[in-house]
Amino acid sequence: MSVSRSVVFPACVAVLGSCALPFAAWGEEKPEPKAQEAPKRPRAREIGLAIGVLPPGPLNAITDVEGVRVGQRTLIDGDNTRTGVTAILPHGGNLFQQKVPAAIVVGNGFGKLIGSTQVEELGTLETPIVLTNTLSVFAAADTLVGHMLSLTGNGMVRSINPVVAETNDGYLNDIRARRVVPGDIVTAIASARGGPVAEGSVGAGTGTRCLGWKGGIGTASRRLPESMDEHTVGVLVQSNFGGILTVNGAPVGRELGRYYLQKLHEDQPTEGGSCVMVVATDAPLTARQLRRLAKRALLGLAATGSPMTHGSGDYVITFSTAEAVRVPHSVTKRLQQRTLLRDEALSPLFQATREATEEAIINSLLKATTVTGFRGRTCEAVPVDRLIEICKRYGAIQP
């Protein structure tokens, strides 16, 4: 099923500016379209690929972190629209009134991450995180502001810091058409739920490419043992970067003959792309500690074969859902007491972040389907049978 559009993007901006429609009405659109049909593709653990030493949570997803919700809007229209929106909510309440500690780390800053400076300065997140394509971040930020202003309890709010990140899907998607409209953002937010997360060529990953193959949305988690308070780390990625595909140490990209710094098929750029990594944890951490956690996600990115090239926007957004460290907007007391995890206890969380990020990226590749889009261009899904064979040969999957 495809999404039809009868208005162009500038018309939608005019509606947004006049507030002619309530935000709920923007969400009342046609049903979510399905990505291009393909046989069911496996996740990493379904083919015997276990990355690292820590166990995953029950869903092996960012939603294993209590309270985290994910919503997505996939836009497939005609021959040229292959894009979408993914929204991540740290909790189900009013995020402006109950902010969460947060941090942002930049691996390579060729990107447009709206809202980063206030997060850096204040160490809090006060809106959902929205992922989309490069030229839609600005419309998404405007819509996100309107959504937050419309919430009960925010009637006197005069400043909102929307956090919106992107990758460039312009190879498969007619990005200049800017097909993401306010209703798509609101739909993604309104549909956010706990539970399993759709992966691959969906949401903000509909038109993305990764390591020479079709990329997309991927997720994974790790849970620490009872002796470490059973804290959970969950990661969600929007993968759209180049490099040399490496799977649990196996040189899959080289073996498949498709990798960075080797001449690739026609129209394939030699560098560029981006990766947005969202890291959630229920451990009670400060913004300073979350920044340290975020840096370890870049280790997981590197493990999959990314050199973080000149044209890549590689960002990590991390937050804690622990109620003990939430930051209320309105307070009467000048002092706030918090229970925090000591720095000496962070290392297992660092390992969890590194492992979950690597696996989330591999899941984004494995679950992605072959997509044909803008100007008839096609990006193939990584061949699962060949990947399994190579991984077994190099000991990345045990026979």
Residue 78's CATH number? 3.60.70.12
Q: Quick check: is 22 in a domain? A: no
Q: Is residue 134 part of a domain?
A: yes
- What pLDDT score was predicted for residue 14? 33
- Contacts of residue 165, defined as CB under 8 A and 6 or more positions apart, other chains included, come to 111, 112, 113, 114, 129, 130, 131, 137, 238, 276, 315, 317
The residue assigned the tokens 């926007």 is: 313
Whether 103 is in a domain gets the answer: yes
Q: Is residue 3 part of a domain?
A: no
The pLDDT of residue 353? 98
**Residue type present at position 396:** A
**Distance between CA atoms of residues 150 and 186, nearest Å:** 12
> Hey, how many other C-beta atoms are within 10 angstroms of the C-beta on 268?
14
| Angle, CA of 72, 90 and 56, to the nearest 5° | 85
The pLDDT, as a whole number, for residue 280 is 99
pLDDT at 334: 86
Tally the C-alpha atoms within 13 A of residue 37's C-alpha that lie toward its C-beta: 2
By residue count, the chain amounts to 399
Tally of domains in the chain: 1
Say what the pLDDT of residue 262 is.
Answer: 85
Give the DSSP H or E segment for 125.
Answer: strand 124-125
pLDDT of residue 7: 32
Which regions of the chain are under pLDDT 70? Answer: 1-39, 264-271
Question: 386 in a domain, yes or no?
Answer: yes
Tokens of 170: 């312009």
Which distant-in-sequence residues (6+ apart) come within 8 Å of 363 by Cβ?
A: 43, 44, 199, 218, 219, 220
What is the residue type of 280?
A: A
The first and second tokens of residue 369, run together, are 């389907």
Beta bridge partners of 220: 235
How far is it, in rounded angstroms, from Cα 87 to Cα 68?
11
Q: What range does the domain containing 182 cover?
A: 46-329+340-393
Residue 119 near residue 106, CB atoms below 8 Å: no
pLDDT, residue 244, reads 96
Q: Residue written as tokens 């629209």?
A: 81
Does a structural domain hold residue 13?
no
Residue 157 lies inside a defined structural domain of this protein: yes
Whether 20 is in a domain gets the answer no
3-class SS at 79? coil
- pLDDT for 331 equals 82
Point out the residues that are catalytic: 274, 312, 314
Strand 273-281 to 232-241 pairing: antiparallel
Question: Phi and psi at residue 238, in whole multiples of 5°?
Answer: -115, 100
Entry pTM: 0.90
* Predicted pLDDT of residue 264: 52
What letter does residue 213 receive in the DSSP assignment? E
